[in-house]
Structure 1
Amino acid sequence: MASKFEKYQKRRLASSYISVVVSIALVLFMVGILGLILLKSTLVSNRIKEKVAITLFLKDNVSKKQINSFKAALEKEPFAKRIIYTSKTQAAKQYSKEIGEDFMKFLGENPLKNGIDIYVKADFVTPEKMEVLETKFLKNAFVADVTYDKVLIGLITKNIKRISFWLLVISGFFALLAIILINSSIRLSIYAKRFNIKTMQMVGATKSFIRKPFIWQSIKLGFIGALVALIGLVAVIFYLDKLAPSLGLLKDYITLGYLAVGVIIAAIVITYASTFLATQRFLNLQTDELHY
């Protein structure tokens, strides 16, 4: 009989551990997916921003040597991501190709100007910073005019702020949900051992001595749950990489590293805190309160 009871207890304990690991893995998988979206959304928004260019039209009296010197100076600027120079001759050829005829035949001269397209780094693509750059370039002796798509930059900035805000709200909600669900699973597993906790306390064991094995056990379960969640995330990332290779998910080692470390740390912190609070609760209960 004792053997059967021991086997039953072991099965019950194993079932409890499995349910905790599964709960942790599912919640962390969900949080990991959201974390991946957050990390990649920043990269995607930066790519969109860095496609925006500010164009400088140069004065006709600026020499080729001065243009090269000016271009080299621009490349050293902290806001410059990429510099492309287009001569007035190249611009005329491109425009003629676009409209399907040589416009210079009936104009008799090339009215276009030499231009420099500056593709700005993502941090500088805001209406305020672009306006500062425009003012700066208009004061330059080589520059005749400055143009960029102000409406587009305003829309990009507004939409990215809106998307970022809602992503943070959703992330906060799921983080709270993760803490609640993992905490509930761990509390249930400790609840089954509440009499053992009180017995150890009655024979003189200190709170820290009683709490320590429970915390270590929960951290182990949390770590296993995190590994299971990471396996699921890896499968999703492989699938998404095949579906949208332009995102470069598998090549973005920094993002993947942050994601993996974040999931593991979240598992350890949440399981530690939940176990500490759950054991503390049962340690503070009176013997007659353990039945409720």
Structure 2
Amino acid sequence: MSKSFESYQKRKLISSYFSVVLSIGLVLFLLGILGLLVLNTKKMADHFKEQITISLFLKDSAKEVEIDQLQKSLAMAEYTKAATYVSKEEAAEQHSKEIGENFIEFLGYNPLKNSIDVQLKADFVSLEKIEEIAAELSKKNYVDEVSYDKPLVGLLSENVKKISFWILIASAIFTFIAVLLINSSIRLSIYSKRFIIKTMQMVGATKTFIRRPFIWTNIKLGMLGSLLALLALAGVLYYINGSFPELNLFKDTSMLIILFVAVFVLGVLISFISTFFATQRFLNLRTDELYY
């Protein structure tokens, strides 16, 4: 009978520890994902900004040497990520594929112009800077027109600011929720041992002596939960980097190391603080208050 009871108590204890580790790991994993999102907000915004292209349509009278010089000067410009020359023949072929028919046969001539597509660096993707660049390029006498999607640029800049703001707000709120959830899990774990705490106190054990094993146990559980979260976070990070290699998530390894260390330390720190105050609460209760 006693062996059966001991076995039951052991299973109950393991189940309690497992639930604490799992809850800590899950909360820290979600917090790590959010931290990853915060760290890469600018990188993702830059990726979308750098899809913006300015098209320089050239006059038919433009000489080959002028086009070549213009392309080289654009490639070396501080605002350029890439400059690609597109001949009118290439443009016609691409347009025919898009519409599904050969429009040149219908019209009898190619109305398109030679062009240079300039892919901008993220820091220069704003309405003011693009307008300055477009105005400067329009001054060249062999440039017929400078075109870009003005509404898209304005919408992108506005949405990037909004998304960055709300991600920061969400991070603050979720961090607070994470602390509350981990704290609740640890408090429930210690609540089940409140009579043991009071018994130890009644036989003369000091508060420090009573707290020490609880704190050390929950710090170890916090470490396990943190490691579980970091393993899951590393798996997600590897998957995202494989699916979207253009984000180059592993480039800034120092920031990733800081994030992983922060998640681990946060798990240990919250476990320590929550255990300290939870045990302190039950140590300060009267015996008859333990039943409520």
Instruction: Please give the per-residue CA displacement for 1:258-286, whole angstroms capped at 9, x wherever unaligned.
Output: 66555434423332332343345445x25
Partner of 1:56: 56
Partner of 2:115: 115
Mapped contact 2:92–2:112 kept (Cα < 8 A): no
Distance 1:39 1:17 in 2: 32
Q: Which runs of 5+ in 1 are unaligned?
A: none
Partner of 2:92: 95
Distance 2:281 2:139 in 1: 69
Secondary structure in structure 2 of the residue aligned to 1:155: helix
Secondary structure in structure 1 of the residue aligned to 2:56: strand
Partner of 2:99: none
Note the aligned Cα RMSD (angstroms): 4.5
Mapped contact 2:58–2:142 kept (Cα < 8 A): yes
CA distance 1:75–1:213, change in 2 (3 Å)? farther
CA distance 1:42–1:288, change in 2 (3 Å)? same
Mapped contact 2:27–2:178 kept (Cα < 8 A): yes
Distance 2:202 2:124 in 1: 61
Mapped contact 1:31–1:174 kept (Cα < 8 A): yes
In the TM superposition, residue 139 of structure 1 has moved relative to its aligned partner by 5.5
Partner of 2:21: 21
Distance 2:88 2:242 in 1: 34
Secondary structure in structure 2 of the residue aligned to 1:56: strand
Partner of 1:225: 225
In the TM superposition, residue 23 of structure 1 has moved relative to its aligned partner by 1.6
CA distance 1:142–1:223, change in 2 (3 Å)? farther
Secondary structure in structure 2 of the residue aligned to 1:101: helix
Q: Which runs of 5+ in 2 are unaligned?
A: 97-101
Distance 1:106 1:189 in 2: 80
Secondary structure in structure 2 of the residue aligned to 1:253: coil
CA distance 1:250–1:192, change in 2 (3 Å)? farther
Instruction: Please give the per-residue CA displacement for 1:194-215, whole angstroms capped at 9, x wherever unaligned.
Output: 56666469958575x6655444
Secondary structure in structure 1 of the residue aligned to 2:104: coil
Mapped contact 1:137–1:143 kept (Cα < 8 A): yes
Distance 2:23 2:112 in 1: 69
Distance 2:278 2:137 in 1: 63
CA distance 1:217–1:106, change in 2 (3 Å)? closer
Mapped contact 1:81–1:121 kept (Cα < 8 A): yes
CA distance 1:141–1:288, change in 2 (3 Å)? farther
Aligned residues: 281
Instruction: Please give the per-residue CA displacement for 1:112-138, whole angstroms capped at 9, x wherever unaligned.
Output: 4x5332101233323233234334444
Distance 2:78 2:212 in 1: 52
Distance 1:47 1:141 in 2: 33
Distance 2:289 2:145 in 1: 80
In the TM superposition, residue 158 of structure 1 has moved relative to its aligned partner by 3.1
Secondary structure in structure 1 of the residue aligned to 2:220: helix
Instruction: Please give the per-residue CA displacement for 1:86-136, whole angstroms capped at 9, x wherever unaligned.
Output: 3xxx225533764632799769xx884x53321012333232332343344
Distance 2:139 2:273 in 1: 59
Mapped contact 1:195–1:290 kept (Cα < 8 A): no
Partner of 1:84: 84
Q: Does 1:155 align with 2:155?
A: yes
Q: Does 1:253 align with 2:250?
A: yes
| Bigger Cα displacement from structure 2, 217-226 vs 160-169 | 160-169
Secondary structure in structure 2 of the residue aligned to 1:116: strand
Amino acid at match of 1:48: F
Percent of aligned pairs with the same residue?
A: 42
- TM-score, structure 2 normalization: 0.69
In the TM superposition, residue 82 of structure 1 has moved relative to its aligned partner by 1.2
